[in-house]
Amino acid sequence: MTRERRPAAPAPRPPVPRSNEALHAPLRPTQSRSGNIDLLRVMTVLCALLILGAVGLGVGLAFDKASAQKIERVNLEGALSFVTREEITVALATEVATSLLAVDLASVKDVLEALPWIRKAEVRRQWPDTLHITLEEEIPIARWGAAQLLNQQGQVFQPATTLEQQALPQLSGPDHSELKVMSQYQEFNQLLYPLGVRIRDLTLKPNGSYELTLTNGIEVRVGREDVLERLRRLVLFLESEQGRDLQNVQAIDLRYRSGLAVAWRPVISGMTPGQDPPGSLVTR
């Protein structure tokens, strides 16, 4: 009787780890590496904060030191003929009574340019304790009105006194006509300059006509039309009179279509001061 063979029993399977064991057992080495990285990051952040703190402390100390640095010197640059250092010192007394860092450069500039003789001021800091100032004075070209002066740009400025500028030509005209009169004065002077003749006074009348007086005392009525052409007529007349005694001429009237009228001084003709001076019309 043959025995029936039973199939061999399957080999036993390895035990299946529990869910927690399956998750954590293989992660133990990775978890340790991650902890080291986190610690390194924390240390890096702490070092960065320490460095920033040290830098901030240094900057703060430097700022405090700069803020406490008073202005010890004020350097002035520029040719000064009408403004003294004492006047500038008085004007800036309040502005420079602070630190070099806190001084308001724009305010210093405004204070300086408010002085009548200062046309332009440039201000800059010069570390560690100096304020550097470059000044440009006004250049007076003529007197304007009773107590004002005109610069090269035809702008009015008014110093405390104009006694030292009495030799300058006297210009006058309606309000806000300074630039126009200055421009006309310069054009007239260019025409008269080759003759050695200068303008002592130039007036723009309210009706737009010009009158001028030469340095030799001759009064000239130019009018308001074709003023440059009329002045050229005067130049031709003065050129033709070279070598003659122009001091006998009292006035010249250019207000003619062509030519001019000359009025002679009374004392030359033997007339009394109450009589009208003789005159002549010269055509050109």
DSSP structure string for 230-271:
HHHHHHHHHHHTTTS-GGGEEEEE--SSSSEEEEE-HHHHT-
User: Could you tell me the two tokens for 284?
Assistant: 């050109």
What are the residue boundaries of the structural domains of the chain, listed by start? 73-137, 142-282
CA torsion 105-111-116-119 (nearest 10°) is 10
Is residue 64 over pLDDT 80? no
Query: Tens digit of pLDDT for each residue in 66-93?
Result: 456 799 999 999 999 999 999 999 999 9
Per-residue model confidence (pLDDT) at position 176: 93
Is residue 53 over pLDDT 90? no
Per-residue model confidence (pLDDT) at position 55: 62
DSSP reduced 3-state for 200: strand
Per-residue model confidence (pLDDT) at position 241: 79
Query: What is the DSSP pairing of strand 199-204 with strand 260-264?
Result: unpaired
Q: How far apart are CA 230 and CA 253, in angstroms?
A: 10
Task: Say yes or no: do domains 73-137 and 142-282 share a fold.
Answer: no
Per-residue model confidence (pLDDT) at position 266: 79
Per-residue model confidence (pLDDT) at position 69: 74
Query: Tens digit of pLDDT for each residue in 239-265?
Result: 887 656 677 899 999 999 888 999 988
Domain boundaries 142-282, CATH class: alpha beta
Q: How far apart are CA 158 and CA 145, in angstroms?
A: 10
Per CATH, the architecture of 73-137 is what? Roll (3.10)
pTM across the whole model: 0.68
